[in-house]
Amino acid sequence: MKAIVQDVYGTAEVLKERQIEAPVPAAGQVLVRVHAAGVDPSVWHLMTGLPYLLRFAGFGVRAPRNPVPGGDLAGVVAEVGGKVTRFRPGDAVFGIGTGTCAEYAPAREDKLAHKPDAMSFEQMAVVPISGLTALHSLRDCAHVTAGQTVLVVGASGGVGSYAVQIAKAYGADVTGVCSTPKLDFVRSLGADRVIDYCQQDFADGRRQYDVVVDIGGSSPLGWLRRALTRAGTLVLVGGEGGGRWFGTTGRSLVAPLMSPFVSQKLRIRVPRENHTDMAGLASLMSEGKMMPAIDRVYSLAEVPQAIGYLADGKARGKVAIHV
Ligand SMILES: NC(=O)c1ccc[n+]([C@@H]2O[C@H](COP(=O)([O-])OP(=O)(O)OC[C@H]3O[C@@H](n4cnc5c(N)ncnc54)[C@H](OP(=O)(O)O)[C@@H]3O)[C@@H](O)[C@H]2O)c1
């Protein structure tokens, strides 16, 4: 099969399109003929092996343990492994697999859901990781309810574009933070208000929010807490930058330790990939409450360019790969 492969960590040149053996699905796994894949910052982290901590946390110390990048996928079931009960060959699916920048990728059946007929493979391929991250941050970490005020820092990105829509679907009053060129995009997602972080400090004390979801990433905890009400909830989703060894992990370690000693709740979003919530996201889409915002679609051979576009901070919403 055709796949994007990297043998070493580095810049985009390490990614090569190559013919490799198609994977064989293990018990509980499905082999998917990938029609579209999604890329997000995790693909850049895998490509570069940065921050170094990730190499010790499973990426592979000297070289990538899994040489094919990509986690999000949408496609058609080609083969099922033993003990698989929910899918048959020919089913159209979306979800999270391994090495999805390839013609075929294995995925655990509990990380796959049926693809809605009305949606394209590209649309569904950009939902799983970012959509689940937004859902879990708002529903499970912050317990957002109707009428609450929610600040989404990083509203124009992959996770943020879903977070704005899901918070609106929950009946919240939503303010999105992004850079100047993307203000209209965030408004188009349904945000009630937008703040341009190039012009205004969202934690200047003018307004406090019941919930702050920080996806943008590099703001210190004390600064984010200034944007919260006294009993508000902060959810840390991710962040780029920081040192080459630890990135922004320091904040994520400190927040849960500090939380019991302050009036506000400081939470970190822990990944929980499951098919029930993926089907829930598909339902939100069927009800017209959430739609993937795809900025660009690249071909498989153009994965390096897709990662570059994302890493340069140019994408509005999501970037898809047509396989
Ligand atoms: N914990 C998890 O399970 C999980 C899952 C998925 C992602 N993540 C992490 O979450 C982060 C975001 O992912 P993503 O897919 O949404 O990335 P993305 O598509 O690249 O979006 C990044 C967002 O951050 C904003 N941003 C950049 N600099 C900022 C600043 N100084 N102040 C405020 N906002 C700023 C960007 O706004 P502009 O583009 O307008 O500058 C954009 O909205 C990444 O670090 C990713 O690794 C974590």
Domains with residue ranges and CATH for the chain: 2-127+292-322 (3.90.180.10), 130-268 (3.40.50.720)
Cα–Cα distance, 135 to 157 (Å, whole number):
15
* DSSP labels, 303-318: HHHHHHHHHTT--SSE
For residue 244, the model assigns a pLDDT of 84
DSSP state of 52: T
pLDDT digits (tens, 9 = 90+) for 222-245: 999 999 999 999 999 977 777 888
| Biggest CA pair distance of the chain | 58
- Asked whether the predicted pLDDT for residue 88 surpasses 80, the reply is yes
The reported pTM is 0.96
Indicate which residue's Cα is closest to atom 10 of ligand 1.
238
Rounded Cα distance between 34 and 31, Å, is 9
User: What is the Cα–Cα distance from 40 to 157, expressed in whole angstroms?
Assistant: 9
Residue 171's φ and ψ, nearest 5 degrees, are 85, 20
154 and 215 in contact (C-beta within 8 Å)?
yes
Pocket test for ligand 1, best of 174, 182, 237 (most atoms within 8 A of CB): 237
Q: For residue 117, report the phi and psi dihedrals to the nearest 5 degrees.
A: -60, -35
- Considering just the CA atoms, what is the radius of gyration of the chain in Å? 19
Instruction: Give the three-class secondary structure for 144.
Output: coil
- Which atom of ligand 1 has the smallest separation from the CA of 318? 19
Grouping H, G, I as helix, E, B as strand and the rest as coil, residue 209 is strand
Q: Which protein residues touch ligand 1 with a CB less than 6 Å away? A: 40-42, 129-130, 133, 153-160, 177-179, 182, 197, 215-218, 237-240, 269, 271, 310, 313, 315
Count of beta carbons in the 10 Å neighbourhood of residue 42: 16
Q: Is 191's pLDDT higher than 80?
A: yes
Question: Which residues is 107 bridged to in the sheet?
Answer: 30
Burial (CB count <10 Å: 0-12, 13-18, 19+), residue 43: buried
Output the CA 169–ligand 1 centroid distance in Å: 21
Q: In this structure, are residues 94 and 76 in contact, taking their beta carbons and an 8 Å threshold?
A: no
Rounded to an integer, the average pLDDT of 92-115 is: 98
- The protein residue with its alpha carbon nearest to ligand 1, atom 48, reads 238
pLDDT band at 58 (very low <50, low <70, confident <90, very high): confident
What's the pLDDT at 130? 97
Taking the CA atoms of residue 280, residue 238, residue 300 and residue 64 in that order, the dihedral angle to the nearest 10 degrees is -120
